[in-house]
Structure 1
Amino acid sequence: MGKIELNNKVVVVAGGAKNLGGLISREMAKEGAKIVVHYHSNKSKSDAENTVKDIVDNGGEAFSIQSDLTKVENVKQLFKAAKDKYGGVDVAVNTAGMVLKKPFVDTTESEYDTMFDVNSKAAYFFIQEAGKSVEDNGKIITILTSLLGAYTGLYSTYAGAKAPVEHFTRAASKEFGGRGISVSAVAPGPMDTPFFYGQEGEDAVAYHKSASALGGLTQIEDIVPIVTFLATDGWWITGQTILANGGYTTK
């Protein structure tokens, strides 16, 4: 297969309004892709609108859509909206997630259910619907966490809810591979975004910064080229979870 380009491809980005998802949306649009910017709640509405505006102002095509992807019907509607607007879907990227740092013995049933709904259930049905919706030779990419390679406490529900997505990725890659669809995951280290700082104290931040072999926190700019590569010339990588963390942890 020759060089694969994003020009005129349709890309659905779950959690595509801000932080990593926002940068993926904007950078893929620069490559000529048409972007569907998903966002979860009204808190991210202005971010989604700004991301779409940036894309359109730079000559690209994009629109935003709000929905709670823990509801399977909403996942279906997200892909339907993309196909109704642009005629199909070529790449599906799920950056959505929710973090909880809490002692095991203090975690409530409600917190457990929410974490697994957001990080596991939504990811499963996003991959499922992407498998039904993307064109042959499409790409499906999920953002996970490098805590999957860590030996640590306090993140039992976050890392625990992300862990099944590794197997979802493997299983889907086997089942969808006959259509040339690659399914992969990227697991960044602690990223320098508000998503990270919301639950970390100063000591923890200092530790995470010092823990990577290359020094410092993961930047969203470090991850976007990897996602773009997997969506294009890196399509032969499938069924894999890539820990992209500057040597923060490994398996």
Structure 2
Amino acid sequence: MSNAHEARVAVVTGGSGGIGREIVERLATDGFSVAVHYSGSADRAEQVVRSVTDANGSAFAVQADVADEDAVSAMFDEVTSRYGGVDVIVNTAGIMMLAPLAETSLETFDRTMRTNVRGTFVVSQWAAKNLRDGGALINFSSSVVKLALPTYSTYAASKGAVDALTLILAKELRGRNVTVNTVAPGPTATPLFLDGKSDEQVKQMAGMAPLERLGEPADVAEVVAFLAGPARWMNGQTIYVNGGVI
């Protein structure tokens, strides 16, 4: 592949996670130089970087609290210093804590909104001002916004906000040649999804899709790669990647 400063550059927030890692590896395979963002999992982020560099790709790990504007600005300064600029941002960083609404603490609500909504807002704001011509911002929502499953009220509310931010930002960037879309996965076999669920619950959710399986991180990465590369006429959309659950 070309050297790092000639390649297109992607930043993947939450790049050490299940879907995030798959996206990093897929974009690196497509020739991107990739910044692997992490919040607290430095070891996992370095594992992702090694998987890319072992395959002759270019990647490095960078830490930031996505809800802290100064930390996000410093993160992008580091990426720009290393790679010269940013073409694609994939915003997978997020948290999910489940409970019935009546039993959800305000601390849980505030923490979820801080990461999932404020974090998306802060990163999107940087993207709006700084992505290079021909760039793409790909935010992450969830199919649960429409599925309306019990115990998901806080998480779904945070992702509904992401949908709204994304659709409006796409219109605000008129004339910039930057696309803004949201990917909304359904039930996907990641640690975030599987944590705390019984085998019976997992089996039940796998059966919701007509394809009768859970999604895999690679299924989601395929759509992200499309939006990051050839999908220049897809803009201002929420794309449900869920095997037909809804």
TM range (shorter): over 0.9
Are positions 1:231 and 2:228 aligned together? yes
Q: Which has the higher helix share?
A: 1
Whole-angstrom CA distance in 2 between matches of 1:225 and 1:197: 21
Are positions 1:221 and 2:221 aligned together? no
Whole-angstrom CA distance in 2 between matches of 1:136 and 1:101: 39
Correspondence list, 1:105-124, <5 A:
105-124=102-121
Q: Contact conserved, 1:18 with 1:51, CA < 8 A, in 2?
A: no
**What residue ranges of structure 2 are gaps of 5+ in the alignment?**
1-5
Are positions 1:139 and 2:136 aligned together? yes
Whole-angstrom CA distance in 2 between matches of 1:82 and 1:214: 39
Whole-angstrom CA distance in 1 between matches of 2:76 and 2:94: 19
Residue 50 of structure 2 aligns to a residue in which SS?
helix
Whole-angstrom CA distance in 2 between matches of 1:20 and 1:84: 27
Q: Aligned residue for 1:88?
A: 85
Equivalent of residue 78 in structure 1, options 54, 75, 78: 75
Whole-angstrom CA distance in 2 between matches of 1:56 and 1:152: 40
Q: Aligned residue for 1:32?
A: 31
Whole-angstrom CA distance in 1 between matches of 2:241 and 2:119: 22
1:12 Cα shift?
A: 0.4
1:202 Cα shift?
A: 3.1
Q: Aligned residue for 2:12?
A: 13
Q: Contact conserved, 1:136 with 1:179, CA < 8 A, in 2?
A: yes
Are positions 1:166 and 2:154 aligned together? no
Q: Which moved more, 1:105-114 or 1:54-63?
A: 54-63
Q: CA RMSD in A?
A: 1.2
Whole-angstrom CA distance in 2 between matches of 1:51 and 1:80: 21
**Could you list the per-position Cα deviations for residues 3-37 of structure 1 after superposition, in whole angstroms to 9, with x for gaps in the alignment?**
xxxx7100000011231111111111112111100
Q: Contact conserved, 2:179 with 2:234, CA < 8 A, in 1?
A: yes
Q: Contact conserved, 1:79 with 1:130, CA < 8 A, in 2?
A: no
Structure 2: which amino acid aligns with 1:242? Answer: I
What is the total number of aligned residue pairs between the two structures? 241
Whole-angstrom CA distance in 2 between matches of 1:109 and 1:10: 38
Q: Aligned residue for 1:56?
A: 53
Q: TM-score, normalised by structure 1?
A: 0.93
Q: TM-score, normalised by structure 2?
A: 0.94
Equivalent of residue 122 in structure 2, options 99, 121, 125: 125
Identity %: 34
**Could you list the per-position Cα deviations for residues 156-179 of structure 1 after superposition, in whole angstroms to 9, with x for gaps in the alignment?**
100111111111111110111311
Whole-angstrom CA distance in 2 between matches of 1:113 and 1:175: 27
Whole-angstrom CA distance in 2 between matches of 1:127 and 1:145: 17
Q: Aligned residue for 1:3?
A: none
